[in-house]
């Protein structure tokens, strides 16, 4: 039972110890300690996922507010993603953080964010979820402002206040839900009282909308997406990788929990809330791609891409049928691995060359072939070319969209997804082209191999392979998902 | 017994300049001893209270000065007596850098007795009497530094408070005329037979009295004295201007609303609507001003203005749950805000820095103080697991439960204010802990945490913030009992 607490508390405590400890640890010792903590946490999380069958109430905040943990398929999915990305990015940072200062502080908050994310995945009711949601913001904003430049600090604050704004908008809904649901425990199909839903239906729809907007801030949904492209480039590359691959997914997880487990899909389906949500998601998809296409700075381009890709997921959630939902979950995984890899490769490039703009990176593929091959493979995945992960998830999303009972969005949705895929190719592939085909006037004499150290390449390679594997064997995941997805819809 | 606990601090205060202390530490022991003894007596009295009323003086008719312990007095007296010993301990250390120590402790200790008088008053007249005394006894504390600024601030404080009390006095008269008695009885004392068709007049008088007492609770537009009064030494700003004085205002409003006019008379009237709107406006107004302010103590003072209106918001919902929420925030906010004020005081004491932009990088030099400041900031924002979350939860829960659409808007105000709170508190924290990469810590090389006299109160308050956050059910249950009249 207490097994479920270990992957949450251990990294948090380890992180706090690192932060409080005033002695300057040597770099080697720090790396070894953090590495051990990361591996132990990963192992603990996996153990908890496989071993813990029961739910578990830790204690009661007040009589009606239990801190309660429960593991279901959604938790397993998100938790696995968290563990893999955090381990990969963690090992990557051991090499990357050499050129940053105050590593101890970075690893402290990194570990804390890891633990908090585990807590978020395991949370079994809305209050526990909200608790970890707030803590996630508070433990991850120091990662964003880590470099300490003026822009980084402003970006960190922007992230912090946007996220808090979203959290408070959701809290508004939680206050009302608390008194109109029998329980706030996540239950497939929703827990909103029938009497409340029928009597004050329109008000509760408004609340649902507030919560979608509020939690949507974290998932970078228009109109509150502006923090994402500011925060990502400012953070150190491994931090942006976790931010983009996992932390923004907390917003997705939140929306799944709120819409499918608290309000219930039936309550939202066919209302103005669904329509607006679909519209916002599609606007974000298109706008994100468009902005990414125009952006010269590599990491910022990737950040806009995250904005766009996350709204693919949100679109799938908003359609509310089985195929689209499956597609969303697959895209959570696929995008997690792909975008993690992309940010890590961007980090590797910055680390070795110091260049940040796409235009400056001519011939990079000749210098760092392995890294750029990984970049190219996952880029193809994100565009949606089979047999990589992105193809399957987008397939399901498009099928779901076409089959959905969502009016004009039935055609508009898949169409925008396709246009956006085209744009994705347009903003990701130039780097490949420029990197591998620098042109005839490129000076091959001065070329030297600058492949980064294994500590950087292995995590990149590992996540690339994973993203391909998802594309090759999607049935493994889809089969496990089918049964329980049908209970939600 | 009751009169004892009011007199001990008064006497102890008067004795400070009179007694020939040979060393400073003797004076400290004497004062701390008196305050602790008094606090123990208060708690003994609260735990073993009887229903009887203690009559001190009798004027005419049923006008008298008398004391009684009921639920509300237990909350307020318990709170004040819990905080005072710690604040006194803190003041010893803080006042080593200020002058006129004796005068300071004279009035500081006397205020304790007066505040208890307000808490234990059994009827409106007694409360009014001590309420006026409170103004008079705290004016010298605001004036303490005798700078021009301080004198102006204290003059403003005096005029505002006396003016407010005058309005409240009209309310008192009306309760005497239209009520059956001036004693505090949960549910109100107005006599429907006497009121007749004068409903609207009485409601108007209620609003006037609300605003009158609201001056001390810094309700907008009568709030400008509070940030100015921040020129007083920090123990005063922390204990009096975040707890004792301002909460006397909130306490008086609760007495007036629930125990004199009665919620049954007020509920659903235009008077309620008016005061809710005023309170909602103050919540947002206080926070926005705090955001603009760069002087740390003034920023906290504006934050107090906003938070006091949280309490009043709970109170003017006029349901038992609303009162529960109000009392919860009354107590929890006291602990959170005194903690953050003491941190600000500790910073001023150790570094002489008063403005937010001067705090860069101090977090690593004074880790304890800023750690505690962070906890209290998070608590004020309402992060779950800390005290502020519970009190906001109760307030919002009461608002939802009241099914009053204006109260729904109030929840939105609460949350907006929470966001602003996050911005103005966390920007301090971020400055202190993340000064930026070009930061040079040369000028603050020798800064360090203060000694135990300052840190002990801070630690105790932090522990309470966490306990209240994690295990608040017993105390909230107690507040609910108070609100429903069990005590």
CA separation for the pair B295, B357 (Å, rounded): 9
Q: What is the pLDDT of residues A359-416, one digit of tens each?
A: 888 888 888 888 899 999 999 999 988 778 888 899 999 999 898 888 888 888 889 9
- Model pTM above 0.90: yes
Phi and psi torsions of B146, nearest 5° = 60, 15
Average pLDDT over residues A58-66: 86
User: What ranges in A269-321 are assigned the alpha helix state H?
Assistant: 272-294, 298-319
Q: Given this model, what pLDDT does residue A311 score? A: 92
Chain B: closest CA distance from residue A341 (Å): 28
Q: Given this model, what pLDDT does residue B421 score? A: 93
Question: In sequence order, what are the residues at sequence separation of 6 or more whose Cβ sits closer than 8 angstroms to the Cβ of residue B93?
Answer: B349, B450, B451, B453, B454
Helix (H, G, I), strand (E, B) or coil at B419: helix
Domain-embedded: residue B8: no
Range of the domain at B473: 272-487
The pLDDT confidence band at residue A131, using thresholds 50, 70 and 90, is very high
Q: What are the angstrom distances between the C-alpha of B466 and each of B84, B270, B387, B396, B461?
A: 20, 39, 6, 20, 9
The pLDDT confidence band at residue A444, using thresholds 50, 70 and 90, is confident
* Residues paired with residue B295 on neighbouring β-strands, in sequence order: B355
Determine the residue of chain A that is closest to B392 in CA distance.
A175
Chain A: closest CA distance from residue B365 (Å): 11
CA separation for the pair A63, B441 (Å, rounded): 48
Q: Given this model, what pLDDT does residue B18 score? A: 82
User: Is there a contact between A168 and B470 if contact means CB atoms under 8 Å apart?
Assistant: no
Q: What are the angstrom distances between the C-alpha of B107 and each of A84, B148, B244?
A: 63, 20, 13
Radius of gyration of chain A (CA): 22
Q: Which DSSP string corresponds to B181-250?
A: -SB--TT--B-HHHHTT-HHHHHHHHHHHHHHHHHHTT-TTS-THHHHGGGS-HHIIIIIIIIIHHHHHH
Domain-embedded: residue B43: no
**Alpha-carbon torsion, ordered A331, A333, A336, A339, to 10 deg:** -50
Q: Given this model, what pLDDT does residue A379 score? A: 92
Question: In sequence order, what are the residues at sequence separation of 6 or more whose Cβ sits closer than 8 angstroms to the Cβ of residue A34?
Answer: A18, A90, A94, A107, A110, A111
Q: Which of A112, A137, A164, A170 to mutate to test the interface with B (most CBs of B within 10 A)?
A: A164
Phi and psi torsions of B168, nearest 5° = -60, -35
CA separation for the pair B25, A46 (Å, rounded): 59
Average pLDDT over residues B108-114: 91
Checking if the pLDDT of A247 tops 80, the result is yes
Chain A: closest CA distance from residue B472 (Å): 6
Q: What is the pLDDT of residues A163-204, one digit of tens each?
A: 999 999 999 999 999 888 888 888 888 888 888 778 888 899
Q: Which of A181, A122, A401, A426 is nearest to A274 (CA)?
A: A401
Q: What is the pLDDT of residues A194-212, one digit of tens each?
A: 887 788 888 999 999 999 9
**Total domains in the fold of chain B:** 1
DSSP state of A62: E
Chain A contact for B441, CB < 8 A? Answer: no
Checking if the pLDDT of B439 tops 80, the result is no
Chain B contact for A164, CB < 8 A? Answer: yes
User: Is there a contact between A61 and B434 if contact means CB atoms under 8 Å apart?
Assistant: no
Q: Given this model, what pLDDT does residue A222 score? A: 84
State the first-to-last Cα distance of chain A, in angstroms, to the nearest integer: 30
Question: In sequence order, what are the residues at sequence separation of 6 or more whose Cβ sits closer than 8 angstroms to the Cβ of residue A441?
Answer: none
Omega prior to A223 cis, within 30 of 0? yes
Structural tokens at position A282:
């599609």
Among the partner residues A63, A130, A172, nearest to B411 by beta-carbon distance: A172
Checking if the pLDDT of B190 tops 90, the result is no
Chain B contact for A9, CB < 8 A? Answer: no
Domain-embedded: residue B44: no
Domain-embedded: residue B345: yes
Residue pointed to by tokens 């309170």? B279
Domain-embedded: residue B223: no
State the first-to-last Cα distance of chain B, in angstroms, to the nearest integer: 19
Structural tokens at position B410:
């109030």
Checking if the pLDDT of B308 tops 90, the result is yes
Q: Which of A171, A176, A204 to mutate to test the interface with B (most CBs of B within 10 A)?
A: A171
Q: Given this model, what pLDDT does residue B242 score? A: 83
Mean pLDDT for chain B?
88
Checking if the pLDDT of A73 tops 90, the result is no
CA separation for the pair A294, A302 (Å, rounded): 11
Domain-embedded: residue B418: yes
Domain-embedded: residue B455: yes
**CB-based burial, A91-117: b 16+ in 10 Å, e otherwise:** bbbbbbbeebeebbbbbbbbbbbbbbb
Chain A contact for B470, CB < 8 A? Answer: yes
Residue A213: Cβ-neighbour burial (10 angstroms; 0-12, 13-18, 19+): buried
Chain B contact for A127, CB < 8 A? Answer: yes
Question: In sequence order, what are the residues at sequence separation of 6 or more whose Cβ sits closer than 8 angstroms to the Cβ of residue B196?
Answer: none
Residue pointed to by tokens 């893999």? A84
The dihedral sign for the CA sequence B286, B288, B291, B295: negative
Checking if the pLDDT of A243 tops 80, the result is yes
Chain B contact for A23, CB < 8 A? Answer: no
Q: Which DSSP string corresponds to B118-157?
A: HHHB-BHHHHHHHHHHHHHHHHHHHTTT--HHHHHHHHHH
Among the partner residues A148, A160, A179, nearest to B436 by beta-carbon distance: A148
Q: Given this model, what pLDDT does residue B198 score? A: 82
Largest CA distance in chain A: 77
Q: Which residues in chain A have Cβ-Cβ distances shorter than 8 Å to B470? A: 59, 61
A with B: how many residue pairs have Cβ under 8 Å apart? 81
Domain-embedded: residue B201: no
Checking if the pLDDT of B445 tops 80, the result is no
Average pLDDT over residues A323-331: 91
- Residue pair A67/A58 in contact by the 8 Å Cβ criterion: yes
CA separation for the pair B203, B265 (Å, rounded): 9
Mean pLDDT for chain A?
89
Checking if the pLDDT of B323 tops 90, the result is yes
Chain A: closest CA distance from residue B266 (Å): 25
Helix (H, G, I), strand (E, B) or coil at B438: coil
CA separation for the pair A137, B341 (Å, rounded): 26
Q: What are the angstrom distances between the C-alpha of A410 and each of A267, A407, A413?
A: 20, 6, 6
Question: In sequence order, what are the residues at sequence separation of 6 or more whose Cβ sits closer than 8 angstroms to the Cβ of residue B17?
Answer: B102, B103, B106
The pLDDT confidence band at residue A72, using thresholds 50, 70 and 90, is confident
Q: Given this model, what pLDDT does residue A64 score? A: 84
* Residues paired with residue B61 on neighbouring β-strands, in sequence order: none
The pLDDT confidence band at residue A317, using thresholds 50, 70 and 90, is very high
Q: Which of A309, A116, A141, A145 is nearest to A220 (CA)?
A: A309
Whole-complex ipTM: 0.91
Residue A455: Cβ-neighbour burial (10 angstroms; 0-12, 13-18, 19+): middle
CA separation for the pair B350, B450 (Å, rounded): 7
Q: Which of B313, B359, B393 to mutate to test the interface with A (most CBs of A within 10 A)?
A: B393
Among the partner residues B390, B418, B430, nearest to A168 by beta-carbon distance: B418
Q: What is the pLDDT of residues B121-170, one digit of tens each?
A: 988 889 999 999 999 999 988 888 888 988 999 999 999 999 999 999 99
Residue pointed to by tokens 């909103």? A192
Question: In sequence order, what are the residues at sequence separation of 6 or more whose Cβ sits closer than 8 angstroms to the Cβ of residue B351?
Answer: B358, B362, B444, B447
User: Is there a contact between A156 and B378 if contact means CB atoms under 8 Å apart?
Assistant: no
CA separation for the pair B122, B118 (Å, rounded): 9
Q: What percent of chain A has pLDDT over 90?
A: 47
Residue pointed to by tokens 């939105």? B412
CA separation for the pair B3, B65 (Å, rounded): 11
Average pLDDT over residues A78-94: 92
């Amino acid at each position: 039972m207490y097994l479920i607490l270990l992957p949450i508390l251990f990294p948090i405590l380890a992180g706090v110890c690192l932060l409080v400890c005033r002695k300057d640890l040597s770099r080697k010792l720090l790396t070894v300690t953090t590495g051990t903590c990361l591996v132990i946490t990963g192992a603990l999380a996996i153990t908890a996922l496989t071993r813990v069958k029961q739910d578990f109430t830790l204690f009661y905040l007040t009589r009606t507010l239990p801190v309660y943990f429960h593991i279901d398929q959604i938790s397993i999915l998100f938790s696995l993603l968290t563990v893999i990305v955090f381990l990969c990015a963690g090992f990557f940072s051991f090499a990357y953080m050499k050129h940053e200062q105050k590593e101890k502080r970075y690893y402290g908050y990194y570990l804390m964010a890891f633990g908090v994310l585990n807590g978020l995945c395991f949370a079994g009711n809305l209050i526990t979820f909200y608790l970890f949601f707030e803590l996630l913001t508070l433990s991850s904003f120091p990662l964003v402002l880590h470099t300490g430049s003026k822009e980084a600090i402003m970006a960190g604050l922007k992230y912090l206040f946007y996220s808090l704004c979203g959290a408070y908008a959701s809290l508004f809904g939680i206050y009302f839900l608390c008194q109109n649901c029998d329980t706030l425990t996540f239950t497939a199909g929703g827990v909103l009282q029938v009497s409340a839903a029928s009597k004050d239906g329109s008000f509760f729809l408004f609340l649902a909308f507030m919560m979608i907007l509020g939690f949507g801030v974290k998932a970078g949904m228009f109109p509150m997406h502006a923090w994402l492209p500011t925060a990502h480039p400012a953070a150190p590359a491994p931090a942006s990788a976790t931010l983009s691959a996992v932390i923004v997914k907390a917003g997705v997880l939140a929306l799944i929990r709120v819409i499918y487990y608290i309000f219930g899909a039936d309550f939202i389906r066919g209302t103005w809330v669904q329509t607006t949500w679909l519209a916002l998601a599609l606007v974000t998809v298109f706008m994100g791609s468009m902005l990414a296409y125009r952006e010269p700075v590599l990491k910022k381009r990737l950040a806009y891409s995250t904005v766009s890709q996350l709204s693919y997921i949100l679109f799938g959630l908003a359609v509310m049928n089985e195929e689209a939902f499956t597609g969303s979950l697959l895209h959570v995984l696929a995008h997690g691995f792909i975008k993690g890899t992309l940010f890590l490769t961007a980090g590797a490039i910055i680390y070795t060359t110091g260049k940040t703009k796409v235009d400056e990176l001519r011939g990079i593929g000749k210098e760092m072939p392995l890294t750029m091959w990984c970049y190219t493979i996952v880029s193809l995945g994100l565009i949606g070319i089979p047999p990589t992960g992105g193809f399957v998830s987008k397939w399901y999303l498009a099928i779901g969209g076409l089959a959905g009972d969502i009016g004009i969005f039935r055609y508009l949705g898949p169409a925008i997804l396709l246009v956006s895929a085209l744009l994705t190719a347009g903003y990701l592939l130039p780097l490949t082209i420029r990197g591998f085909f620098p042109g005839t006037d490129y000076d091959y004499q001065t070329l030297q191999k600058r492949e980064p150290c294994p500590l950087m390449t292995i995590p990149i390679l590992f996540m690339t392979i994973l993203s391909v594997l998802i594309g090759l064997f999607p049935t493994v995941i889809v089969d496990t998902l089918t049964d329980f997805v049908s209970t939600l819809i | 017994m009751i009169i004892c606990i009011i007199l001990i601090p008064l006497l102890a205060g008067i004795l400070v300049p009179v007694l020939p202390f040979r060393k400073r530490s003797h004076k400290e022991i004497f004062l701390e001893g008196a305050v602790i003894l008094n606090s123990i007596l208060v708690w003994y009295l609260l735990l073993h209270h009887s229903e009887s009323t203690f009559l001190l003086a009798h004027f005419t008719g049923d006008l008298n000065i008398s004391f009684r312990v009921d639920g509300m007095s237990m909350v307020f007296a318990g709170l004040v007596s819990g905080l005072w010993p710690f604040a006194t301990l803190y003041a010893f250390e803080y006042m080593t850098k200020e002058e006129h120590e004796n005068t300071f402790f004279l009035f500081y200790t006397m205020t304790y007795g007066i505040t208890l008088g307000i808490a234990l008053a059994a009827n409106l007249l007694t409360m009014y009497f001590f309420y006026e005394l409170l103004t008079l006894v705290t004016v010298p504390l605001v004036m303490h530094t005798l700078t021009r600024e301080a004198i102006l601030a204290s003059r403003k404080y005096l005029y505002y408070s006396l003016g407010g009390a005058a309005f409240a006095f009209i309310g008192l008269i009306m309760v005497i005329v239209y009520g059956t008695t001036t004693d505090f009885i949960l549910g109100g004392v107005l006599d429907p037979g006497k009121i007749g068709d004068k409903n609207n007049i009485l409601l108007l008088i209620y609003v006037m009295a609300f605003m009158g007492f609201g001056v001390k609770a810094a309700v907008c537009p009568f709030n400008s004295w509070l940030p100015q009064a921040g020129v007083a030494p920090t123990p005063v700003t922390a204990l009096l201007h975040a707890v004792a004085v301002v909460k006397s205002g909130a306490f008086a409003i609760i007495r007036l609303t629930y125990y004199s006019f009665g919620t049954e008379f007020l509920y659903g009237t235009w008077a309620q609507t008016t005061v809710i709107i005023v309170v909602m406006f103050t919540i947002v107004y206080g926070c926005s001003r705090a955001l603009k302010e760069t002087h740390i103590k003034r920023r906290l003072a504006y934050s107090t203005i906003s938070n006091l209106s949280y309490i009043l918001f709970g109170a003017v919902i006029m349901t038992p749950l609303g009162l529960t929420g109000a009392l919860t925030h009354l107590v929890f906010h006291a602990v959170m805000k005194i903690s953050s004020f003491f941190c600000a005081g500790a910073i001023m004491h150790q570094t002489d820095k008063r403005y937010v932009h001067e705090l860069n990088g101090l977090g690593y030099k004074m880790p304890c103080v800023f750690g505690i400041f962070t906890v209290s900031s998070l608590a004020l924002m309402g992060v779950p697991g800390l005290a502020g979350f519970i009190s906001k939860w109760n307030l919002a829960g009461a608002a939802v439960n009241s099914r009053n659409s204006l109260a729904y808007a109030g929840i939105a105000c609460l949350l907006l204010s929470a966001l602003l709170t996050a911005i103005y508190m966390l920007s301090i924290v971020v400055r202190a802990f993340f000064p930026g990469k070009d930061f040079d810590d040369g000028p603050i090389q020798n800064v360090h945490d203060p000694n135990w006299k300052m840190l002990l109160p801070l630690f105790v308050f932090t522990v309470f913030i966490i306990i209240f956050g994690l295990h608040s059910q017993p105390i909230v249950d107690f507040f609910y009992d108070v609100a429903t009249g069990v005590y």
